[in-house]
Amino acid sequence: MTGEHILVIDNQKSLCRMLEAVLQDNGYTVAAFTNPVEALESFHPDRFSMVITDVKMPEMDGLEVLAAIKKVDEEIPVIMITGHATVEMSIHALRSGAFDLLTKPFEPEELMQRVRNGLRQTALILENRQLRREIAEQEKFGEVIGKSPALLNVLDTARKIARRDIPVTIMGESGTGKELVARAIHEHSLRKGRPFVAINCGALPDTLLESELFGYVKGAFTGADQDKKGLLEMADGGTLLLDEIGNLPMNVQKALLRFLQEKEFYRVGETHPTSVDVRILASTNADLQQEMQEGHFREDLFFRLAVVQIRIPPLRERRTDIPLLAAHFLEEMNIRFGTAVRGFTPEVCEVLINYGWPGNVRELKNVVEACLAIEQGSLVGMDGLARLMDISRYDQEKGLDTKVQKYSEALESFEHNYFTNLLRHCGDNVEISARKADINVATLYRKIKKYSLR
């Protein structure tokens, strides 16, 4: 037995018995009704995994049944059976929330294929619900998401040293979430509620970095027409994150070292020191050991900053976190865009988990955001994903030949030719074409729209 419970509604007793027999032969538990009103009275979302209903029934037609079911459970798949499918009715049923439309007469194999497709979508939706539940239930450390051993070890260290008021250097590739970990350390420290200030040391020219960090007094240089506080003063009582610390010029390194030793600094153009109480955190994607060997980074500053070193693993080293992160970004973007995308197809999940992610978590977030910006279905599929990321990199990792043509280009070329020939062969009949392709009508309409087929 599969464990899935299917509700069947058809006023024709013979067809109702046939549907019940076919489904039971394939291991499903079935509740069959010839009266749609009685069927709806027995329906509740925790009991059934799918509904199969006829369209034309005397007491209540299938579209009314569909509307009543969707009021109770929006996500349950409903397959509608009809003897006279028109394009208008098909579109109406699909827009009303039907998963698929099956035209009489049909073979048992065709019925079971549609049933398996619908239940697979339900399983995907439940899986994404579970991922969101795991995100909500996991022990939070700031906005950092994940439960892989590699990440949990990092977070355990960060949580322990958060309340110890010492400098910390956070290392990791670009996009791994170094600033998120730094913010979490601040939020779990005794300085919580005080300022958290971050500066990207590689984003400013050397001439501006010193004045931005330490501030300046009026007349210190051309254009300094008034005193200005630096980021160190702005972070007084709180935490200052020096992002990409490896880009600090030597003169600023020297001034920063003095501050770490004496807890005071000089504004540019000032003759007396300024004292502040600031915890320094640093982050870098560079190899500071190599930078020291090459004379680009002061050894004494390194040992002052790196009292504790934390290395955040790249996404490819914590692949079990990818589904959690993708589900989190999906929920975040649904709220942002006002969409209702429920999850990812199994093929997309496989690509997301096995892809190399050179841009790490930041790249994954961007891909999910882009998918939701263009996705019109309930699940993110491969055709949308292939337009937004370099699938050839994934293909290369799987050992596929991508020299001739990119996956996305080959997929689009194949689909265009396939659906053009399919429709021509079936006399442009969408219902028959969808049946021969073993896909639901909604998918075929999306392909027609995507490739402007006529």
User: For tokens 């749609």, what's the residue?
Assistant: 36
The structure tokens listed for 72 are: 């109770």
Question: Could you give the 3-state DSSP secondary structure of residue 95?
Answer: helix
What is the predicted pLDDT for the residue at 168?
A: 94
Render pLDDT for 155-171 as a digit per residue (tens, 0 to 9). 989 999 999 999 999 99
- Angstrom distances, CA of residue 448 to CA of 375, 376, 422, 441: 15, 14, 11, 11
User: For tokens 């394009």, what's the residue?
Assistant: 87
- Angstrom distances, CA of residue 339 to CA of 66, 205, 377: 22, 41, 10
Q: Say yes or no: do domains 149-312 and 317-450 share a fold.
A: no
pLDDT higher than threshold 50 for residue 60: yes
On the 0-12 / 13-18 / 19+ scale of CB atoms within 10 A, 125 is: middle
CATH architecture assignment, domain 317-450: Orthogonal Bundle (1.10)
Nearest to 395 by CA among 385, 384, 404, 406: 406
Render pLDDT for 227-281 as a digit per residue (tens, 0 to 9). 888 899 999 999 999 999 988 888 889 989 999 988 888 888 888 888 999 999 9
What is the predicted pLDDT for the residue at 450?
A: 77
- Angstrom distances, CA of residue 139 to CA of 74, 94, 135, 193: 30, 40, 9, 21
Nearest to 212 by CA among 222, 223, 201, 226: 201
d(CA 173, CA 423): 49
Task: Tell me the mean pLDDT in the region 221-227.
Answer: 76
Q: What is the residue-wise DSSP string for 388-400?
A: TS-HHHHHHHTT-
Render pLDDT for 199-213 as a digit per residue (tens, 0 to 9). 988 887 777 888 888
Tell me the domain boundaries of the chain: 5-136, 149-312, 317-450
Superfamily (CATH H level) for 149-312: P-loop containing nucleotide triphosphate hydrolases (3.40.50.300)
pLDDT, mean over the chain? 84
Question: Could you give the 3-state DSSP secondary structure of residue 358?
Answer: coil
What is the predicted pLDDT for the residue at 145?
A: 86
How much of the chain exceeds pLDDT 70, in percent? Answer: 90
| CB 451 within 8 Å of CB 419 | yes
Answer whether 0.75 is exceeded by the pTM.
no
Give the list of residues 6+ apart from residue 444 with CB closer than 8 angstroms, or none. 419, 430, 433, 434, 437
Give the pairing of strands 308-311 and 228-229. unpaired
* Ramachandran angles phi, psi of 245, nearest 5°: -60, -25
Q: Phi-psi region for residue 105, left (φ > 0), alpha (ψ -120 to 50) or beta?
A: beta
pLDDT higher than threshold 50 for residue 400: no
Query: What's the N-to-C CA distance of the chain in angstroms?
Result: 44
CATH of 5-136, one of 3.40.50.2300, 1.20.120.1770, 2.60.40.10, 3.40.50.720: 3.40.50.2300
Q: Phi-psi region for residue 157, left (φ > 0), alpha (ψ -120 to 50) or beta?
A: alpha
What is the predicted pLDDT for the residue at 59?
A: 80
On the 0-12 / 13-18 / 19+ scale of CB atoms within 10 A, 260 is: middle
On the 0-12 / 13-18 / 19+ scale of CB atoms within 10 A, 329 is: buried
Helices 87-95 and 430-437, packing angle to 10 deg? 60
Render pLDDT for 292-320 as a digit per residue (tens, 0 to 9). 999 999 999 999 998 999 999 999 999 98
Q: How many CB atoms lie within 10 A of CB 136?
A: 10
